[in-house]
Chains A and B, each alone.
Chain A
Amino acid sequence: MTMFHFFNCAILTFGPHAVYYSATPLSEYDTLGTSVKAALVYLGTALVKLVCLATFLKVSENDGFDPYQELLKAVIGFIDVAGLYFALTQLTHRNISQNHKFQAVGLGWAFADSVLHRLAPLWVGARGLEFTWDFILQGLEANANLVLSISLAALGSLMWLRKNKPKTLIPIIYACAGIVATMPSITSYLRRGLGWHFPKVVGFELFTSLSMAFISWQLFSACQRPSS
């Protein structure tokens, strides 16, 4: 019975990635290599972030919200953006259109994030006899993270790969990218500073990820139109 629960939570956490890959034209153009490379870049980025966190962050005794520490964590979070930049621009991809490139990179990024952060707790915790809602909420969080990663990759590709952008949209693009990039800090502030419970935080994440996805989709299609 408990393996059943583990299986359920696993398909909730990792299923959407596989579904995304197979449902969109990504599978037709065989962009698996790109996703794998993006996953590896994520791994490298996570390592760098860990080292920076260990070096610069103080261990706090209480679980409260320390603004200075959170600011530091947000700055270190921008290493994420740097990693995404590296994955989008510096890696050699096969000849795939920009449209599909950012999707593949975002997918690989989100998949690596899910595996790294959610597989181990799932394996250890979901197979026990005790039932909690935590793992289902974690799966929902993984879904939100997928959407956020893809929108961040979209905005990133807009910023760095597309040369001719309508002037008016540029600040909006950068603003949205900033919001998406600082999403982890925002959620941790909500959890620790305001004391929101986990279901509420996950709901907030889902809502914001969908809205940011919608906004970035609009921006992307706006930049697609030939700028004549």
Chain B
Amino acid sequence: MVLSKNSGGHRGMQESMYSVIALVFILVACVELCDAAAAIDVYRLIQYDMSGSAYGSRFAVLNHHAAALHFPPGADLSRAVLIIPLRELNITFVREYINQKKPLGGLLFLLPDIFSFENGGNKQVHEKEKLKNLLAELEQLLIHANIPYPVYFAFENDEIDTVLADIKKNDAIGQPATATTGGYKLVIPTPEPKKVASPTITNIQGWLSGLKVDGDTNQLPTIAIVASYDTFGAAPALSVGSDSNGSGVVALLEIARLFSLLYSNPKTRGRYNLLFGLTSGGPYNYNGTQKWLRSFDQRLRESIDYAICLNSIGSWDNELWIHVSKPPENAYIKQIFEGFSNVAEELHIKVGLKHKKINISNPRVAWEHEQFSRLRVTAATLSEISTAPELLQGTGGLFDSRQFVNETAITRGVKLVAESLARHIYGHQGKNVQIFADGGSLAVNPAYIQSWLDLLSQTPRVAPFLSKNDPFVMALQKELADHTDEVNMQHEVLEGVFTFYDSTSARLNIYQVASVTFDLLLLLVLGSYLIVLFSFLVITTRGLDDLISLFRRPPSRKVKTA
């Protein structure tokens, strides 16, 4: 009986021991990398495969020492992260590094504040244009290279500026940062990037019905106004594409609003249906537009008189271009172009016509109207860009921020398109009638344009990272539903040529670390301090003889036996 009681008590003690040990383990594991010298948000370079070839930065985890430019020649950088502010960027240096596949631990680019939305504001920075062009060039270089180490972008702020100044000072002394000399350590604890499974593209369309006169059984003709809303850039978490194609989306929404006002009253409703399309998949050869058009039934497609696609109308001064794929001698093209020219003259805008033949066998689709033309629908693209962009160029990258877009340009563009459309719909071609005159109830609303432009400039919109129910997509749908009779969403999978990887943004911790030699030195100092303390105490309390006796061996036994 006694034994069992004992063992019971013993077991109880054992259990409490286990719980104490468990608690100790938890405490041990709990200490994490808190307390960094600085912690900033960083955005990773895009990682994607195109037709099987790998592009972009292939890694995300970072745990290396920091180095700045002007490192001592011959220094081993394979375990160092180069921090390069955009202002000091030498593009040939970076190009050489990437093309020659020199080993590097990582790259961190620091972008000036003007490219961020929160802090950009209206700061007047000289050399704005130069920085913009430099960033565009850097972006193109990085997107088309296969980089086997992490590349991140961050915005300059005080913390990282002081860190960088410190690193440069250390480099100037001639002490590159390695494991034994101290310095700064950059740590990004993020999981390995995984493929984005079945990236979806969502097309949103709004339908405004025209006035059907009783007894008229024919299908009313339709005019389509289309803009693609997604972007592609070097840093998907920063690709807000204010101009490409945020300006187009904003213009489309404003045009929809104006025409919904007109069409709300049956007396002013036109005899044309209006179809508004916000398409996705723009950077990928307008894949989304193609799928959207394929989903139409034949009758609808045949009823489309023409389509106007809006692409980048946010930063022009006086000249716009209309790009077509049918030859300019075509009667329909002539009609459209004349309509636009007449209105443009009144608004003191110069409009030019550019013709680019489409090649059916070439998968490259440079303009959105080409997807319409491939299905034999007359279409044109209105843009400030005069030459066709290459693949993944001009799709709203890092440099395309709010600072560089002008609301007045968008307002004038909206007026141009709306007036031209209205004159065509109501049959006032050639007449000098101002339907959307300033100051009237149908005036273009600059506040509306500005607020939507601001929203778009804060929302990165790379299609694979926009889910089906993304709040932004829902917002677009709701807005279009406000202005049109019927809204439909079409969800498709972006299949085929492109594969994307996630992990687009992370938090960078910068630690100031001491070198191993420092710790060893400290150990030496402390050891000698304790020995000195020990000797001092022994001498003062027991006497010097005691101290010496500690070190002398005990007298040998030989004396005794003698």
Contacts and interface: CB of A to CB of B under 8 A. Distances in A.
Contact of A20 (B31, B511, B537, B542): B537
Interface stretch (B205-213, B513-521, B551-559): B513-521
Given A15-B530, A130-B37, A23 B512 contact: no
A64 interface: no
B513 A19 contact: no
A124 B30 CA distance: 9
Contact of B512 (A1, A4, A131): A131
B511 A129 contact: yes
Nearest to A136: B522
B36 interface: yes
Nearest to B519: A4
What's the dominant secondary structure at chain A's contact region? helix
A227 B478 CA distance: 99
B433 interface: no
Contact of A123 (B31, B516, B519): B31
A128 interface: yes
A46 B420 CA distance: 84
A175 to B, nearest CB: 25
Interface residues of A, number: 24
B526 A15 contact: yes
A30 to B, nearest CB: 16
A73 interface: no
A45 to B, nearest CB: 26
B185 interface: yes
Question: Most A CB atoms within 10 A — which of B34, B187, B514, B529?
Answer: B514
A130 B537 contact: no
Interface in A90-144: 123-125, 127-131, 136
B98 to A, nearest CB: 30
B533 A131 contact: no
B530 A130 contact: no
Contacts of B182: 131
Contacts of A1: 513, 516, 519
Interface in B495-524: 511-514, 516, 519, 522-523
A22 B511 CA distance: 39
Contacts of A5: 514, 519, 522
Contacts of B536: 23
Given A16-B530, A130-B511, 17 more contacts: A4-B516, A8-B522, A11-B526, A15-B526, A20-B537, A23-B534, A23-B535, A23-B538, A24-B537, A127-B31, A128-B33, A128-B34, A128-B511, A129-B33, A129-B36, A131-B511, A131-B514
Chain A to chain B: the 4 pairs with minimum beta-carbon distance, closest first: A23-B537, A129-B511, A131-B514, A24-B541
